[in-house]
Amino acid sequence: MKLIAIFLFLLTSQIVLAQFDNPSNNSVQFEQNENNTATPNGFELPATKKPNISIKENKYNTNTLPKLEVKKEEFDMSKEDGLLENKTNKAPKYFTMDKEAKEEYGRDYVLADFKTKTSYVNIVYRDHESVDGDRIRVYVNDDVVQSEILLDGNFRGFDLTLEVGYNKIDFEALNQGDSGPNTAQLHVYDDKGVLISAHEWNLLTGNKASVIIIKE
């Protein structure tokens, strides 16, 4: 039995040694494939510039801008400054005195006598001297259209439709106010707003100033 065992051990050893002597029978071999992948070189970062810590010149620096030349003129009170002159010696209109009430103002007279083709006229009046309480009465062809009007510094009046032919407007002075004669400025406009007559009167109490308009 020992001999058989020894025989089997030697036989087995020979078989194992034979397998190691011929490894090509049972070895695993990998096929070699072509590899075109480039060898990685890693990431390339762009080159950075060194920070410039120098200060650039500011072209808008007030110290570097050319300086304007300002011509200085000496102040001279004798020269005019181009502004409107404020005449302090002129009294306001409400405090000025009317003209002296002369005897020649004590009569009736015609301010204007003219022809026109306008369909109506706008008649306005105001106290152009001292506003001192002058009052008037207005007639058209001898009929009273305004019985009593207090004149002030603003224009006021009425529209008058003209009759073909003769049209007479009378302004009677009811008083002379607080100073001088009864004073007024009169404007007459046509139906297009065009000034066709402008006059002034100076009347004593009870006298009239008239405008005669002939409509063609």
Rounded to two decimals, what is the model's pTM? 0.55
What's residue 212's pLDDT? 97
What's residue 58's pLDDT? 54
Q: How far apart are the first and last CA of the chain?
A: 175
- The mean pLDDT value for 178-193 works out to 92
Cα separation, 181 vs 100, in Å, equals 7
Q: What topology is assigned to 108-215 in CATH?
A: Immunoglobulin-like (2.60.40)
User: Would you say residue 82 has pLDDT above 50?
Assistant: no
* Structure-derived torsion over alpha carbons of residues 103, 105, 107, 109, reported in degrees to the nearest 10: 150
Cα separation, 32 vs 14, in Å, equals 34
Q: Going by C-beta distance under 8 Å and a sequence separation of 6 or more, which residues neighbour residue 181?
A: 98, 99, 101, 102, 105, 173, 202, 203, 204
More confident residue, 146 or 91: 146
* Structure-derived torsion over alpha carbons of residues 56, 57, 59, 61, reported in degrees to the nearest 10: 120
C-beta separation of 99 from 132 below 8 A: no
- The mean pLDDT value for 64-77 works out to 56
Structural domain spans, the chain: 108-215
